[in-house]
A and B are shown apart, each in its own frame.
Chain A
Amino acid sequence: MAEKTYLQAISDGLRQEMRRDKRVFVIGEDVGVYGGAFKVTLGFQEEFGPWRVIDAPLAETAIVGSCTGAAMMGMRPVAEMQFADFISCAWDHLVTVAAKQRWRAGTPVPIVVRLPSGGGFSGGPFHSQNPESSFAHIPGLKVVCPATPEDAKGLIVSAIEDPNPVLYMEHKHLYRRIKGEVPDERYTVPIGKARTHREGEDVTVVTWGAMVYTADEAANQLDDVSVEIIDLRTILPWDKQAVLESARKTSKVLVLHEDTRTGGFGAEIAATIAEEAFEDLDAPPRRITAPDSPVPFSPTLEKAYIPQVEDVVKGLKELAEY
């Protein structure tokens, strides 16, 4: 056990799997010589060679599509999108081919696509997005969004092991900011299981990714409200049972995410709570999300866009008083 950054945890998990399993390879833009735009694969090419750490042309469909072909031939590819935003270029392949191949043709597609996602550092409209809800709507895909270093490692291992296409959303704002104890040995974190980040009695916050820390800071500021934080960890499938249990316990739920509001995954969670736990609620489920706009560049605008600690404090107070 050692303290590691979130980024080191991803890197360690990936390296461990590549050492263990020759079928695992990495492909993406600048992942080899350069070690990846964020240096997740730094030193990988020296260790594993240019045919297991593959610098691809600037062609996301070729990157993800070729992962599918290689996976069907017995490999375990891990693609890196330089930024999660660029997955739009490979959206068609993922949705049309990878997600449906097992169901229609009986051929599993065990691939992982790493998506450095999220904002908070003036990345602007094309380097800051959180596209999880676009993929949560696609049967056949899995989507994971770890928040802690421990989960980051455990979920990258689970994603590689999983026989389905898994989108691994790693939040860029957590890369070097968040540190935690990470076991040295190999372990997995189950896909589809939430984690209780903080136990509480009065209000539940359901969230994931970087917003786990925003929720935690907000909870710290409230002396008279006991807040429970459920870190969903995986979006598809999501841990409905854990969310409903917490909703029934506290009777008040705030769903918090960094993605935009309309059609965001929070809508699915709020709808499910309303459908299945309505009679246990003492307040309507509430959402705090980014507004329905592209992610802005300038710091003042971006601060107004990404949910802030004070927004969550206000929301929690209102819910507690409801």
Chain B
Amino acid sequence: MAVREAEPVASLSEVKEAGLDREDLLQIYRNMVLTRGLEERGHILYRQGKIPGSFYTGRGNEASAVGVATAMGTDDVGTPLHRDMGVHVTRGVEPWRVLAQYMGRRDGPTKGKDGNVHMADARLGLIAMVSHLPAMLPVAVGCALAFRIREEQRVAVGWFGEGASARGDAHEAMTFAGTRRLPVVFVCDNNQWAYSTPTHLEYATEHVADRAVAYGFDGVVVDGTDVLAVYREAKRAIEKARQGGGPTLLECQTLRMEGHAVHDDAFYVPKELFEEWAKRDPIERFRLWLQEHANMTNEEDEEISSGVKKLLNDALQRADESPLPDPSELLDGVYATPEDLDTPHHK
């Protein structure tokens, strides 16, 4: 057991070894572009006054979210958080439903019961987050426990941030998963700021991943702006878990490129830090990599961008046509009925 700092991915042959062909790479790029585009549309909707409450994005975290989600198998499950729109996108969420969710409409995954990224499509193997950020880690561990009891070759992925790492839920989840070597991967989106609180006030070790040693499994630190390195490390961790090798704590280092939410201008983050990390923009970085190593042409790039734009235009129109929920729906589903157990998760 040790904490390892992952190297960047250098060449196309290395990528192929990790199981990705050129088409996969372009799909990853598209998912990142779509993720950012979706959240940028959210900003516009917010400014138009169409989003009640506040609005949260994962700008700067696209590589981390898409990289990990790409490494997951179809039957694997996960509990992504509010910086992980890329996970929903990669698993195939319909963008119009996300926009409907932002606006509190009936066709959002929560039908207006909950807001922003507090959503998930069970059919895609995802479980909706709550605001208490490490709270979903024990849930991810429970999914892994079910897989272990039934001896299925499936893996659960639980996301948390460096801020969430401070709470007991994270500790309990990792303790239990470690003792039973459950097939779960803990992904820490370390974006350096928990609202306004910097990392040194959240944990006293060099890395969050340093804790893995104490739980009896491996920790890996990876550059969260390098989608291919994230993918490679996530793939290793997921396949290791699938083979019975137990959990891994994968820490993806990024910078939260916007405020905690749209109401927060992040005055407390040094300007130089934003400038430094803007140079490592995950999408721009991967675009250049694709041009250099995979011969992505300008036409291909343009095709992806315009395809995403069209998809989002259509999504926006469809979401805007979705009605607000009727007040009579307020009490629907407080309690489940036996028929409700017939869901993708429960089968």
Quick check: B334 and A66 within 8 Å, CB to CB?
no
Size of the B side of the interface (Cβ < 8 Å), in residues, is 50
Q: Which positions 146-166 of chain B face chain A at CB distance < 8 Å?
A: 146-149, 156
Closest to A67 in B: B142
B277 lies within 8 A of chain A by Cβ: no
Kindly identify, within residues 128 to 153 of chain B, every residue whose CB is under 8 Å from any CB belonging to chain A. 128, 130-132, 135-149
- Chain B binder among A92-100, A259-267, A271-279, A309-317: A92-100
- CB proximity to A under 8 Å, residues B303-347: 332-338, 340-341, 343, 345-347
Contact: B140 with A69, CB < 8 Å? yes
Answer whether residue B86 sits at the interface, using C-beta atoms and an 8 A cutoff: no
Given contacts A51-B148, A107-B122, A108-B336, contact A61 B168 (CB under 8 A): yes
Of B143, B175, B334, which is within 8 A of A59 by CB? B175
Taking CB atoms and an 8 Å cut-off, the chain A residues in 71-89 that contact chain B are 71-75, 77
Q: Are A65 and B148 in contact (CB under 8 A)?
A: no
Q: Which of under 10, 10 to 19, 20 to 34, or 35 or more describes the interface residues of A?
A: 35 or more
Does B287 have its Cβ within 8 Å of any Cβ on chain A? no
CA distance A106 to B340 in the complex (A): 8
Contact B340 A105 (CB under 8 A): no
Report the bound CA distance from A105 to B136 in whole Å: 14
- Closest beta carbon of chain A to B267's beta carbon, Å: 30
Query: Cβ of B240: which chain A residues have Cβ within 8 Å of it?
Result: none
Of the residues B114, B172, B345, contact of A104 by C-beta under 8 Å? B114
Q: Which residues of the other chain, B, contact A64 by a CB distance below 8 angstroms?
A: 138
Contact B340 A66 (CB under 8 A): no
B43 sits at the interface (CB 8 A): no
Contact of A103 (CB < 8 Å), options: B130, B139, B333: B333
A68 within 8 Å of B by Cβ?
A: yes
> CA of A69 to CA of B345 in the docked complex: distance in angstroms?
10
Among B136, B141, B156, the residue within 8 A (CB) of A97 is B136
Determine whether B46 belongs to the interface, using a CB cutoff of 8 Å to chain A. no
Residue of A nearest to B119 (CB): A105
A93 and B113 CA atoms in complex are apart in Å by: 19
14 contacts across the A-B interface (CB closer than 8 A): A51-B149, A52-B149, A62-B173, A62-B176, A69-B140, A71-B346, A73-B146, A96-B132, A97-B135, A100-B130, A102-B336, A105-B119, A108-B343, A163-B341
Interface residues of B (CB under 8 A from A): 77, 109-110, 113-114, 118-120, 122, 127-128, 130-132, 135-149, 156, 168-169, 172-173, 175-176, 179, 332-338, 340-341, 343, 345-347
Q: Contact residues of A with B, CB < 8 Å? A: 25, 51-52, 54, 56-57, 59-75, 77, 92-93, 96-97, 100-110, 139-140, 142, 161, 163-164
